[in-house]
C-alpha cells in the first residue's frame, strides 16, 4: 500500500516537470490506467490536454499513439486492415493506432458515428476483429478522448452507449494566475517545443500497473458502503431534473474508482469520502439533464452535489 502511494507521488513529481497544475486531471487519468478504464477529457484548446497524455505515457513507460479525429476518418484507419502482399501472394495484417497502451483520441466528436463505434469493441473488450480474426490489444490499453466544449458546429455528439464506455469524464480549465505565469517562464526560450518532456523518467512499467490493479481489487469495503453507493445511484434515477439516471454499471465503476482513490491515499479500506469524491467524474456523463432544467441552469454536477447532500452518509 505504501509503495503504491510512493509510486503515485513519484509519477506526480515527474509529470510536474512538464505540467504546471492540473494535478486532479493527472491523478484521475492515472487512476483510469490503473483500473483499465478510459477517460473523456473536455476543455478549451491550449490547456495541455495532449501534453498531459504524452507526459503520463512517458512516466508509466507506456506506448503512446495520437489520432486526430476528422470527418473523413474511417474505421479501418483506427483498427488496421489486412493488406495483400503481391510478392508473397498473401494477406498480412497492418495494425492501426489502437495497438498501443495509451491512445489519445483528439476531438473524438469530430468524426462520424461509424468511426466512433470502431472504438467500442476496443474500449470494452480490448480487442478488434478484422475479417473475422480477433486481434488482442494491450492489457493496459487506455483511451484518452478529448472534445472541445465550445465549438459544436460540424461535430457528432457521442451517443449514450459510447459515453458509458468512459470510466471518467474530466473537465480541464485554464490555470490560475500563479500556474499560468510559471508556464510563461518555462516556455520563455522555446515557445512551441516540448523540451521538458525528455526530462520525465519512467516510474512504473506495465507489470507494475497490473500488480497495482490486483491490489486495488482487494481493498476492503464495509457492507454499509455498498448500500451508500446504491442510494446515490438510485437518487439519480428518481431525480425530477434528470431524464436518465445512472445504471448498475455506473455503480460498479463508482465503487472501483473510489477504491483506487483510497489506495493512492495510503489506505486499504474504503471510506465515504472516497465515494463522494469519485461521484462527479464517474457519473456526470451518464446523466441526462432535462431541457427545461438546463434552461434553469441545472447541470449534472450541480444535481450530483444536491444528491450527495441529501443521501445519508454511513458512520
Per-residue pLDDT reduced to its tens digit, 111-139: 888 888 888 888 988 999 888 889 999 99
**Is residue 90 domain-shared with residue 231, that is, in the same domain?**
no
Could you tell me which of 300, 69, 315, 101 has the C-alpha nearest to residue 208? 101
CATH number for the domain that contains residue 261: 1.10.8.80
How many domains would you assign to the chain?
Answer: 2
Give CA separation, 204 vs 30, 33, 138, 214, 221, in Å.
Answer: 11, 12, 16, 15, 27
Domain contains 210: no
Cell numbers standing for residue 11:
509519477
**Is residue 138 domain-shared with residue 253, that is, in the same domain?**
no
Place of cell 489486412: 82
**Is residue 257 domain-shared with residue 289, that is, in the same domain?**
yes
**Is residue 84 domain-shared with residue 180, that is, in the same domain?**
yes
What average pLDDT does this structure show over 244-271? 96
CATH number for the domain that contains residue 191: 3.40.50.300
Expressed as residue numbers, the domain containing 196 is 16-205
What average pLDDT does this structure show over 33-59? 93
pLDDT score at 153? 64
DSSP state of 111: S
**Is residue 285 domain-shared with residue 156, that is, in the same domain?**
no
- Tell me the pLDDT tens digit for each residue of 155-180: 788 888 888 889 999 999 898 899 89
Give CA separation, 59 vs 16, 23, 119, in Å.
Answer: 11, 14, 25
User: Of the residues 205, 235, 265, which one is the last residue of a structural domain?
Assistant: 205
Question: Strands (DSSP E) along the chain, which ranges?
Answer: 39-42, 64-68, 80-85, 90-95, 102-106, 127-130, 133-136, 142-147, 168-171, 242-244, 288-289
Count of Cβ atoms closer than 10 Å to residue 149 Cβ: 11
**Is residue 110 domain-shared with residue 25, that is, in the same domain?**
yes
Amino acid at each position: 500500500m505504501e509503495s503504491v502511494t510512493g509510486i503515485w507521488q513519484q509519477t506526480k513529481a515527474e509529470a510536474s516537470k512538464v505540467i504546471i497544475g492540473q494535478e486532479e486531471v493527472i491523478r484521475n487519468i492515472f487512476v483510469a490506467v490503473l483500473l483499465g478504464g478510459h477517460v473523456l477529457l473536455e476543455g478549451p484548446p491550449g490547456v495541455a490536454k495532449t501534453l498531459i497524455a504524452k507526459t503520463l505515457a512517458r512516466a508509466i513507460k507506456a506506448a503512446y499513439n495520437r489520432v486526430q479525429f476528422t470527418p473523413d476518418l474511417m474505421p479501418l484507419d483506427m483498427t488496421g486492415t489486412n493488406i495483400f502482399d503481391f510478392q508473397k501472394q498473401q494477406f498480412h495484417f497492418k495494425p492501426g493506432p489502437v495497438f498501443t497502451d495509451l491512445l489519445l483520441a483528439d476531438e473524438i466528436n469530430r468524426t462520424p458515428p461509424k468511426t466512433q463505434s470502431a472504438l467500442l469493441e476496443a474500449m470494452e473488450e480490448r480487442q478488434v476483429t478484422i475479417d473475422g480474426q480477433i486481434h488482442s490489444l494491450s492489457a493496459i490499453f487506455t483511451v484518452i478522448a478529448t472534445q472541445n466544449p465550445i465549438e459544436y458546429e460540424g461535430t457528432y455528439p457521442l451517443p449514450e452507449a459510447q459515453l458509458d464506455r468512459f470510466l471518467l469524464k474530466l473537465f480541464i480549465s485554464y490555470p490560475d494566475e500563479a500556474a499560468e505565469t510559471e508556464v510563461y517562464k518555462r516556455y520563455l526560450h522555446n515557445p512551441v517545443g516540448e523540451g521538458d518532456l525528455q526530462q520525465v523518467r519512467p516510474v512504473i512499467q506495465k507489470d507494475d500497473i497490473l500488480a497495482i490493479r490486483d491490489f486495488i481489487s482487494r481493498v476492503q469495503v464495509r457492507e454499509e458502503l455498498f448500500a451508500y453507493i446504491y442510494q446515490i445511484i438510485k437518487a439519480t434515477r428518481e431525480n425530477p431534473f434528470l431524464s436518465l439516471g445512472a445504471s448498475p454499471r455506473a455503480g460498479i465503476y463508482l465503487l472501483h474508482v473510489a477504491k483506487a482513490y483510497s489506495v493512492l491515499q495510503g489506505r486499504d479500506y474504503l471510506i465515504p469520502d472516497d465515494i463522494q469524491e469519485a461521484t462527479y467524474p464517474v457519473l456526470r456523463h451518464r446523466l441526462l439533464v432535462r431541457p427545461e432544467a438546463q434552461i434553469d441552469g441545472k447541470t449534472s454536477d450541480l444535481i450530483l452535489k444536491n444528491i450527495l447532500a441529501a443521501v445519508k452518509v454511513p458512520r
